[in-house]
C-alpha cells in the first residue's frame, strides 16, 4: 500500500519492532526494492533505500550491505537523529542522507541513494540532465539540482546540506557521487530512480547529436495531468526478479 | 479488412484463441528484445469486425491470455479483463483511419524516444528502412499521453500512410498488415535507431537514397523467418 499524500511523521511512542507483523509488508517491500535496483543495473556494492516507519520519527534501511545482497536480517531501524532502534547493528555510513531528508520533508516516505552511472555523469557535467521524455515528468523542466559538496554524507551537517540542495525537488544529483531520490511510497522511489537512470542514459545518447528538444514546463504539465500508473512498472520489475531466482 | 456490421466473436470463443496467443507472444518478444519496460502495448484487429484485442493495463512482459481486453473502434468494452490501456485511442484511431492495418505496436523504445527529440530525423541507414518513408518516420510533436480520441486522431493524421510514427518525448507507434509484421518493424525501427546513433559518432553516414532503397526487396512478405526466431528466444526463457 502506498501512503501518498499522508504526512507520516509523528511522535508515536510504541515504535514497532523491525520484525513485527505491522512492518512485515513494508520491510519486504524494501528488500524487493533493493533487489530491483540491483537487477536493473542501478546499484553495485553500494547504495541504500530507506522507508519511514509509519507515524514515527524512525526509518528502516539496509545495514551496511549491498542492495543486491540484502536479506531480512540485514535491516536496521534508526530514529531521525541516527540513534539505533532495532535490527542489525551496522548502520550504513551515509545514514544522514535518509534521516536528514526524512526530517526536512515530512511528506516523504522513502529515499533511495545510488551511485547510478547516469546520475554520476550528469553530476559532473556542465550540461544538465533534463526531461526529454515523459518519464521525466516528475522533474522540473531544468532537471534535478546538484549537491556540490565533496565527501560521503556521514555527518548530520552534510546531510542537512544535502537536504537543502534537494529542497522541494524529487531528486538531487550528488557531484562525483550519485543521487538521492525521494517519494511518497517505495514504489514511487523505485519508479523515479529507474527513470532517472533511463533519462540520464537517453540524455547522454541525445547530446552526441546536439541539443535535443526538451520538454517545456508547460508540456510537462500536460503529461502530469494524464492518469498515473504507479504499480505497472513495479509489477514488471518484480516479475524480472522472479526470473533471476 | 474491417467490415462494419459483422458479428464480433465472443471474447472467450475458440476462434479468437490464436489471435490472443499472438498478442501475448508479440508482447513477450518486445520485452525479451529489450524494447518495452513496464509500458507499451500490442494490438490485433479481429478480422472482419470493428474490434481489436490488446493487453489490459499490464506490462507487455507480464501479459497473459487472461490479461487481454477486446474493444471496438470507439473504445467500447467488448470482453476480457475490463481494464483497457489508458492509450487505447492509439489503436482504435489508427485502425479506424487505416483499414489496411491489422496490428499496432506502441512502445517507449529508447531509440524511437531518442530520435523523436533530435533535429535530424532518422534517414535510412540500412535496408531495414525499406518500410519507412524516404526521410524517416514522421514525428507526432504534441505533449500528453494519447488518452483521448482527439489525440488519437491527431496521431493517426501524423502517421498518415506511413508504417511508423515517432511520438516526441514518448516513443513510437508501428503498424503492420499482420501482427508479425508490426512486431518485426518495431524491432527493425529500434535497430535502425541504434545504428544511426552509432554512425553519427563517426560523422555523417552514407544514407541510402530512395532509389537505392528501392533495389532492396520489400518487407511485405509474411515475415515468418524472424517471427520463428524471436519466438524461439522467448520459448528459451519460458522453459529455462
B85: nearest CA partner in chain A: A229
Q: What CATH number is attached to the domain comprising A83?
A: 3.40.225.10
**For chain B, domain boundaries:** 14-227
Q: Find the closest chain B residue to A219 by CA distance.
A: B143
ipTM score for this prediction = 0.89
Confidence of residue A3 (pLDDT cuts 50, 70, 90): very low
Note whether A213 contacts B: Cβ–Cβ < 8 A.
yes
Please name the member of B38, B117, B144 whose beta carbon is closest to the beta carbon of A213.
B117
Residue of B nearest to A203 (CA): B114
Residue B224's CB is within 10 A of a number of other CB atoms, namely 9
CB-nearest to A202 from B61, B110, B120 is B110
Report the sign of the C-alpha dihedral through residues B1, B2, B3, B7, in that order: positive
Cβ distance B144 to A223 less than 8 Å, yes or no, reads: yes
Q: Give the separation between CA B120 and CA B135, rounded to whole angstroms.
A: 10
Does any CB of chain B come closer than 8 Å to the CB of residue A149?
no
How many domains does chain A contain in total? 1
- The set of cell numbers assigned to B32 is 525479451
CB distance A43 to A114 below 8 Å? yes
Q: Are the Cβ atoms of A133 and B170 closer than 8 angstroms?
A: yes
State the best of B114, B142, B233 to mutate against chain A, taking most chain A CBs within 10 Å.
B114
pLDDT, mean of residues A97-126:
98
Which positions in chain B have a beta carbon within 8 angstroms of at least one beta carbon in chain A? 37-39, 57-59, 61-62, 86, 108, 110, 113-114, 117-120, 143-145, 147, 168-170, 197, 200-201, 237
Let me know if residue A127 belongs to a domain: yes
Bridge partners (DSSP) listed for residue B171? B167
Residue-wise pLDDT for B70-93, tens only, equals 999 999 999 999 999 999 999 999
| pLDDT at site A166 | 98
Whether the full predicted model's pTM is greater than 0.90, yes or no, is yes
The pLDDT of residue B167 is above 70: yes
The domain B14-227 is classified under which CATH number: 3.40.50.2300, 3.40.225.10, 1.25.40.10, 1.20.1050.10? 3.40.225.10
C-alpha closest to that of B108 among B120, B116, B98: B116
Mean per-residue pLDDT for A91-100?
97
pLDDT of residue B27: 98
Residues of A in contact with B37 (CB under 8 A): 233, 236
Instruction: Provide the pLDDT confidence category of residue A8 given band limits of 50, 70 and 90.
Output: low
Please indicate whether, in this complex, the C-beta atoms of B117 and A132 are within 8 angstroms of each other. Answer: yes
Chain A residue with minimum CA distance to B194: A205
pLDDT for residue B120 is more than 80: yes
* Confidence band for A5, pLDDT divided at 50, 70 and 90: very low
* A13 — pLDDT class (breaks 50, 70, 90): confident
**Percentage of residues in chain A having pLDDT higher than 70:** 94
**Cα–Cα distances in angstroms (integers) from residue B11 to residues B17, B89, B220, in the given order:** 9, 20, 29
Mutate which: A226, A228, A231, A238, vs B, most B CBs within 10 A: A226
* Domain assignment of residue A11, yes or no: no
**Around Cβ A218, how many Cβ atoms within 10 Å?**
9
Instruction: Give me the percent of chain B exceeding a pLDDT of 90.
Output: 84
Which residues from B are below 8 Å from A223, CB to CB? 143-145
Nearest residue, CB atoms, A212 vs list B86, B117, B145: B117
Asked whether residue B223 carries a pLDDT value surpassing 90, the answer given is no
| A213/B145 touch (CB, cutoff 8 Å), yes or no | no
Inside any domain, residue A13? no
Spell out the SS3 assignment of chain A: CCCCCCCCCCCCCCCCCCCCHHHHHHHHHHHHHHHHHHHCCCCCCCCEEEEECCCCCEEEEECCCCHHHCCHHHEEEEECCCCEEEECCCCCCCHHHHHHHHHHCCCCCEEEEECCHHHHHHHCCCCCCCCCCHHHCCCCCCCCCEECCCCCCCCHHHHHHHHHHHCCCCEEEECCCEEEEEECCHHHHHHHHHHHHHHHHHHHHHHCCCCCCCCCHHHHHHHHHCCCCCCHHHHHHHHHHHHHC
In chain A, which residue's Cα lies nearest the Cα of B113? A133
Its domain, for residue A141, covers 21-232
Query: Using an 8 Å Cβ cutoff, are B25 and B184 in contact?
Result: no
- Determine contact: A230 vs chain B, CB below 8 A: no
Q: Are A232 and B59 a contacting pair at CB < 8 A?
A: yes
Q: Which residues of B touch A232 (CB under 8 A)?
A: 38-39, 57-59
A243 lies in some domain: no
> Of B58, B62, B143, which has the smallest distance from its Cβ to A223's Cβ?
B143
Task: Please answer whether residues A134 and A195 qualify as being in contact, where contact means their C-beta atoms are separated by less than 8 angstroms.
Answer: no
Amino acid at each position: 500500500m502506498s501512503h501518498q499524500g499522508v504526512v507520516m511523521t509523528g511522535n508515536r511512542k510504541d515504535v514497532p519492532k523491525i520484525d513485527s507483523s505491522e512492518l512485515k509488508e513494508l520491510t519486504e517491500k524494501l528488500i524487493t526494492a533493493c533487489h530491483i535496483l540491483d537487477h536493473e543495473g542501478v546499484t553495485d556494492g553500494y547504495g541504500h533505500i530507506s522507508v519511514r516507519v509509519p507515524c514515527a520519527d524512525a526509518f528502516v534501511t539496509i545495514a551496511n550491505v549491498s542492495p543486491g545482497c540484502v536479506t531480512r536480517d540485514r535491516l536496521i531501524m534508526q530514529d531521525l537523529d541516527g540513534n539505533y532502534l532495532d535490527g542489525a547493528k551496522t548502520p550504513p555510513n551515509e545514514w544522514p542522507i535518509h534521516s536528514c531528508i526524512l526530517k526536512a520533508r515530512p511528506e516523504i516516505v522513502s529515499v533511495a541513494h545510488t551511485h547510478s552511472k547516469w546520475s554520476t555523469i550528469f553530476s559532473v557535467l556542465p550540461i544538465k540532465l533534463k526531461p526529454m521524455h515523459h518519464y521525466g515528468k516528475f522533474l522540473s523542466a531544468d532537471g534535478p539540482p546538484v549537491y556540490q559538496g565533496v565527501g560521503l554524507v556521514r555527518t548530520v551537517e552534510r546531510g542537512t546540506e544535502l537536504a537543502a540542495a534537494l529542497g522541494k525537488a524529487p531528486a538531487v544529483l550528488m557531484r562525483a557521487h550519485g543521487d538521492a531520490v525521494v517519494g511518497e511510497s517505495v514504489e514511487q522511489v523505485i519508479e523515479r530512480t529507474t527513470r532517472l537512470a533511463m533519462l540520464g542514459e537517453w540524455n547522454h545518447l541525445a547530446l552526441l547529436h546536439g541539443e535535443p528538444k526538451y520538454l517545456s514546463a508547460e508540456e510537462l504539465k500536460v503529461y502530469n495531468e494524464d492518469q498515473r500508473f504507479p504499480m505497472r512498472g513495479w509489477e514488471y520489475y518484480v516479475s524480472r526478479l522472479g526470473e533471476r531466482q | 479488412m474491417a467490415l462494419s456490421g459483422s458479428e464480433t466473436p465472443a471474447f472467450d470463443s475458440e476462434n479468437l484463441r490464436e489471435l490472443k496467443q499472438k498478442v501475448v507472444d508479440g508482447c513477450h518478444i518486445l520485452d525479451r528484445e529489450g524494447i518495452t519496460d513496464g509500458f507499451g502495448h500490442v494490438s490485433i484487429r479481429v478480422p472482419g469486425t470493428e474490434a481489436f484485442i490488446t493487453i489490459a493495463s499490464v506490462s507487455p512482459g507480464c501479459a497473459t491470455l487472461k490479461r487481454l481486453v477486446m474493444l471496438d473502434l470507439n473504445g467500447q468494452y467488448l470482453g476480457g479483463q475490463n481494464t483497457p490501456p489508458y492509450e487505447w485511442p492509439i489503436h482504435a484511431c489508427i485502425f479506424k483511419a487505416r483499414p489496411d492495418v491489422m496490428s499496432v505496436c506502441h512502445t517507449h523504445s529508447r531509440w524511437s524516444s531518442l530520435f523523436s527529440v533530435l533535429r535530424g530525423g532518422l534517414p535510412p541507414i540500412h535496408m531495414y528502412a525499406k518500410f519507412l518513408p524516404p526521410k524517416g518516420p514522421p514525428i507526432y510533436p504534441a505533449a500528453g499521453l494519447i488518452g483521448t480520441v482527439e489525440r488519437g486522431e491527431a496521431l493517426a493524421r501524423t502517421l498518415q500512410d506511413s508504417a511508423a510514427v515517432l511520438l516526441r518525448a514518448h516513443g513510437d507507434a508501428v503498424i503492420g498488415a499482420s501482427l508479425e509484421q508490426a512486431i518485426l518493424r518495431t524491432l527493425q525501427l529500434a535497430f535502425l535507431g541504434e545504428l544511426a546513433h552509432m554512425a553519427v559518432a563517426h560523422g555523417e553516414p552514407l544514407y541510402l537514397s530512395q532509389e537505392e532503397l528501392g533495389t532492396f526487396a520489400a518487407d511485405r512478405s509474411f515475415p515468418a523467418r524472424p517471427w520463428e526466431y524471436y519466438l524461439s528466444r522467448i520459448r528459451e526463457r519460458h522453459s529455462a
